[in-house]
């Protein structure tokens, strides 16, 4: 299994760059999401569309705000609910052993929804991919979130104390920081997506080594023509 470590500094730098690049499209997407989140059934598709947008942002793409309304978002509807059920049951089971295991499993399975949507795998396989690809990086994921949260609080606190315009600047800073936070999430998924691809190839190679490549299907022999009676 690949043991490459998540680069915390590079992740945050890329998140800042991609977040600022997508600030206005992402801001419009959030507005559209909030305006329609109360509509049953549609809100599930827009939620899945939002996850798709995060995947694109993490790869340096510019998102389309109205993509959350795409009909393709409903293709993973059943698997999405199954995955959510597995996640909640698993984390609640981990919480029975105090909260530390629940926090660890929340981080380990945190990218399962992205694998489900991006790689079109089953809910259980997406959980396994998320767990395996984040192996050895869980504390790094935690520190990315912790560091980003501390820096964000400091920035908002400093801006908030500026006379007269402080509250306005603080609100604007929150909006920008949310866009950057979303981009950081996408950048982390992009890293673990590559690790997951390497894991899949490694397992496929092991399978072929032990079982051999699948034999190609033999072509069917043409049926002999019946002799024609003269």
CB 62 within 8 A of CB 24: no
What long-range pairs does 111-116 form, CB within 8 A, spacing at least 24?
111/188, 111/189, 111/192, 112/83, 112/87, 113/51, 113/80, 113/83, 114/51, 114/54, 114/55, 114/189, 114/193, 115/193, 115/196, 116/76, 116/79, 116/80, 116/83
* Residue 221: per-residue pLDDT: 47
Its pTM stands at 0.85
Give DSSP secondary structure letters for 105-166. HHHHTTTHHHHHHHH---HHHHHHHHHHHTTTTHHHHHHHHHHHHHHHHHHHHHHHTSTTTH
Phi, psi of 213 (to 5 degrees): -65, 150
Phi, then psi, of 60 in degrees rounded to 5 = 85, 10
Q: Which of 15, 192, 7 is nearest to 115 (CA)?
A: 192
pLDDT of the residue at 1: 53
- From first to last of its 230 residues, the chain has per-residue pLDDT tens of 556 899 998 999 999 999 999 999 999 999 999 999 999 999 999 999 999 999 999 999 999 999 999 999 998 899 999 999 999 999 999 998 888 899 999 999 999 999 999 999 999 999 999 999 999 999 999 999 999 899 999 999 999 888 888 889 999 999 999 999 999 999 999 999 999 999 888 888 877 777 665 544 444 545 545 554 44
Q: How far apart are CA 61 and CA 57, in angstroms?
A: 5
Q: What is the rounded distance in angstroms from the CA atom of residue 103 to the CA atom of residue 80? A: 21
The pLDDT value given to residue 164: 84
Could you give the CA distance from residue 44 to residue 42 in angstroms, rounded to a whole number? 5
Q: Which residues contact 47 (CB under 8 A, 6 or more apart)?
A: none
């Amino acid at each position: 299994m690949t043991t490459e470590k998540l680069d915390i500094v590079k992740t945050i730098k890329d998140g800042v760059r991609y977040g600022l690049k997508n600030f206005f499209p992402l801001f419009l997407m959030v507005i559209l999401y909030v305006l329609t989140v109360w509509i049953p059934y549609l809100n599930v598709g827009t939620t899945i569309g939002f996850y798709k947008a995060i995947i694109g942002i993490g790869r340096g793409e510019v998102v389309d705000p109205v993509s959350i309304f795409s009909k393709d978002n409903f293709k993973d509807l059943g698997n999405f609910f199954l995955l959510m059920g597995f996640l909640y049951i698993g984390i609640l089971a981990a919480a029975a052993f105090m909260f530390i295991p629940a926090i660890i499993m929340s981080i380990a399975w945190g990218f399962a929804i992205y694998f489900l949507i991006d790689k079109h795998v089953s809910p259980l396989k997406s959980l396994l991919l998320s767990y395996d690809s984040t192996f050895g990086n869980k504390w790094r994921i935690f520190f990315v979130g912790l560091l980003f949260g501390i820096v964000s609080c400091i920035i908002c606190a400093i801006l908030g104390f500026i006379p007269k315009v402080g509250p306005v600047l603080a609100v604007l800073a929150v909006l920008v920081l949310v866009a950057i936070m979303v981009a950081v999430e996408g950048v982390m998924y992009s890293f673990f997506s590559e690790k997951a691809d390497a894991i899949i190839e490694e397992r496929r190679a092991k399978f072929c080594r032990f079982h051999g490549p699948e034999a190609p299907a033999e072509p069917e022999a043409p049926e002999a023509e019946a002799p024609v009676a003269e």
